[in-house]
Amino acid sequence: MSQWFEEQLDVSLGRIFKVAYSDKLESVRSPFQKIEVFQTLSFGKMLVHDDVIMVTEKDEAHYHEMIAHVALTIHPNPEKVLVIGGGDGGTMREVLRHRQVKTAHLCEIDEMVVRVCQKHFPNLASSFTDRRVGLFFEDGATFILAHPHEYDVIIVDSSDPIGPAEVLFRREFYQGMADALKPDGIAVTQSESLHYHGSIIGKLASFCREIFPIYRYYYALVPTYPSGLIGFSFCSRQYDPLVDFDERRAERLGHLRYYTPAIHRAAFTLPAFCRDFLGE
C-alpha cells in the first residue's frame, strides 16, 4: 500500500511524492524538530525535517559534492575543516575525500539527526566513524566563537532560515565565522534558491561583501529542492573560486556523481535576473 508525502513551498505552491509504505520508516521528535524518513518510489529514502525535504538518496550527491568540493579544490592546504549542520553525514563524506584534510569537525545542534541517519542513511553517516572526525552537538553560532582563527575551511550545511537554523543566516554569525577562519580561510554556506529567496540571498550578499573581500554565489541542480536548484555563498579573504581553482586536484577526486571541473566553473555563471538581488 502506498501514500503521498506533500511538501508546501509557500501559500500557493507545493509538491507531492509517492512513498512506498503507508507507515513511515522513522518518525521521531527531537528537542528541536520533527524528523521523518520515507521510502519514496522515485528518489529512494527521503529525510524530512518539520515537513521539509532535507535529503534523498537519488540526488543527495548533487548537493553534498558541490557544497564541499568547490572550497576544498581552491584552498591550497585545507588541513582543518569545520562542517556546521550536516547531520546526515553527506557533506562530511565529501570532505574526507580530500587527502589534505587531517581534522574534520562536525557541529550539529540536533544529535537525533545524526542517530536517525546512521540508522537509515549509512552511505552518508558512516563518514562519522572516520578517525579524523570529531562530533560536537552544539549550537554552531556559539561553537565558532570559541574557536578563533582555527579552521582552513568552514562549510555551513544548514536547513532553511527558520527554527534552529535561523541564526545561521545573520550577519553576526558570518562575522563569527570569519573570525574562526585562519587568515586565508574559505567559508561556503547553503544559501537558498535563486527563484524563491532573492531577498534572503541579496541580504546575505550585501553583508558578506563587507566581511569578506571575495564573495561569489554559485548553484547546483538538485531536483528535490525548491525550484530544482540550490545556491551557495563562497566567502574568502584571499582565494578566488575561479582564478585559484586547482583543476588537477579536482580530477584526482575520481568518479563522482555530479561535480566535475567543468561544473565547478559553470556553477558561477548566473542568470541575468540574479543581478537584481545580488547587486551586480
Domains 3-56 and 60-278 are alike in CATH topology: no
Cell numbers placing 222: 538538485
Q: What is the pLDDT along the chain (280 residues), one digit of tens a residue?
A: 457 666 666 656 666 766 766 668 999 999 999 999 999 888 999 999 998 899 999 999 999 999 999 999 999 999 999 999 999 999 999 999 999 999 999 999 999 999 999 999 999 999 999 999 999 999 999 999 999 999 999 999 986 666 666 777 888 999 999 999 999 999 999 998 888 888 889 999 999 999 999 999 999 999 988 888 999 999 999 999 999 999 999 999 988 999 999 999 999 999 999 888 888 7
CATH architecture of 60-278: 3-Layer(aba) Sandwich (3.40)
Give the C-alpha separation, 162 to 174, whole Å: 17
pLDDT for position 9: 63
Q: What angle do CA 203, 136, 189 make, to 5 degrees?
A: 20
pLDDT for position 115: 98
List Cβ neighbours of 232 (8 Å cut-off, separation of 6 or more): 66, 67, 70, 188, 189, 190, 191, 217, 218, 219, 220
- Residue 48 bridge partners (DSSP): 36, 53
Tell me, what DSSP letter sits at residue 197? -
Give the C-alpha separation, 165 to 141, whole Å: 10
pLDDT for position 35: 97
What is the spatial order of strands in the sheet that 103-107 belongs to? 133-136, 103-107, 80-85, 151-157, 181-190, 229-236, 214-221
Verdict on whether the full-model pTM lies above 0.85: yes
**Domain boundaries, given as residue ranges, for the chain:** 3-56, 60-278
Q: Does residue 203 sit in helix, strand or coil?
A: helix
Cell numbers placing 172: 553576526
| CB-based contact 123:45 (threshold 8 Å) | no
Q: Which residues are catalytic?
A: 157
Query: What value does the mean pLDDT of the chain take?
Result: 91
Q: What angle do CA 255, 257, 262 make, to 5 degrees?
A: 80
- In single-letter form, the type of residue at position 158 comes to S
DSSP per-residue letters across 207-274: HHHHH-SEEEEEEEE-TTSGGGEEEEEEEESS--TTTT--HHHHHTT---SS--HHHHHHTT---GGG
Cell numbers placing 63: 548537493
Q: Does residue 172 sit in helix, strand or coil?
A: helix
pLDDT digits (tens, 9 = 90+) for 115-147: 999 999 999 999 999 999 999 999 999 999 999
Instruction: Say which CATH topology domain 3-56 has.
Output: Spermidine Synthase; Chain: A, domain 2 (2.30.140)
